[in-house]
């Protein structure tokens, strides 16, 4: 996944920076809320139940985005797309950690640490000397 953003028009909502569509951002935000309701840890079964409720259009959420602000709405999102476009990218970016032995998902701060590492890498790149110039062939 590639994150592209404009530093002059940076959205205040981190989900709008990370995800390419509004719908993906809404579903990811609801997933984080669900994590928080479960003490920041969800079992594989709880994750599957969340995905199934979305798939069946039975997940009821109170959204904070206009025009739905403060209203309870039923969300619908394909289960396979949830795993492919929401959960898997969140795992690969370090927003969510999956413990293979406990079979649990948990919220993680690895994303923040990786973004700091990217910033350090850029700073080091700026400090690199030009190096050996390439000689033109006659």
Q: How many domains does the chain have?
A: 1
**pLDDT tens for the 138 residues of the chain, in order:** 778 888 899 999 999 999 999 999 999 999 999 999 999 999 999 999 999 999 999 999 998 878 888 889 999 999 999 999 999 999 999 999 999 999 999 999 999 999 999 999 999 999 988 876 777 776
Query: 27 lies in a domain?
Result: yes
Q: Is the dihedral of CA 58, 60, 63, 68 positive or negative?
A: positive
CB-CB contact of 107 with 42 (8 Å): no
Query: 103 lies in a domain?
Result: yes
What is the C-alpha radius of gyration for the chain, rounded to an integer number of angstroms?
20
Containing domain of residue 68, as a range? 14-127
Query: 8 lies in a domain?
Result: no
Per the structure block, which two tokens stand in for 12?
Answer: 């205040």
Please give the Cα distance from 106 to 71 (Å, whole number): 28
Query: 70 lies in a domain?
Result: yes
Per the structure block, which two tokens stand in for 121?
Answer: 């890498």
Query: 22 lies in a domain?
Result: yes
Query: 116 lies in a domain?
Result: yes
Quickly list DSSP for 42-58. Answer: EEHHHHHHHHHHHHHT-
Query: 86 lies in a domain?
Result: yes
Burial 35-64 (b: 16+ CB within 10 A, else e): beebeeebeeebbeebbebbbeeebebebe
Per the structure block, which two tokens stand in for 39?
Answer: 């003490």
Query: 135 lies in a domain?
Result: no
User: What does pTM read for this prediction?
Assistant: 0.87
């Amino acid at each position: 996944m590639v994150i592209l953003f404009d530093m002059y028009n940076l959205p205040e909502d981190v989900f709008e920076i990370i995800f390419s569509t509004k719908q993906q951002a809404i579903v990811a935000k609801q997933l984080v809320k669900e994590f928080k309701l479960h003490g920041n840890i969800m079992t594989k079964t709880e994750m599957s139940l969340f995905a199934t409720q979305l798939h069946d259009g039975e997940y009821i959420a109170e959204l904070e985005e206009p025009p739905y602000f403060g209203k309870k709405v039923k969300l619908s999102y394909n289960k396979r797309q949830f795993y492919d476009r929401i959960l898997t990218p969140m795992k690969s970016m370090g927003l969510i950690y999956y413990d293979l032995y406990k079979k649990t998902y948990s919220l993680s701060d690895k994303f923040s640490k990786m973004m700091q590492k990217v910033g350090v890498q850029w700073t080091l790149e700026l400090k690199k000397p030009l190096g050996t110039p390439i000689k033109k062939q006659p």
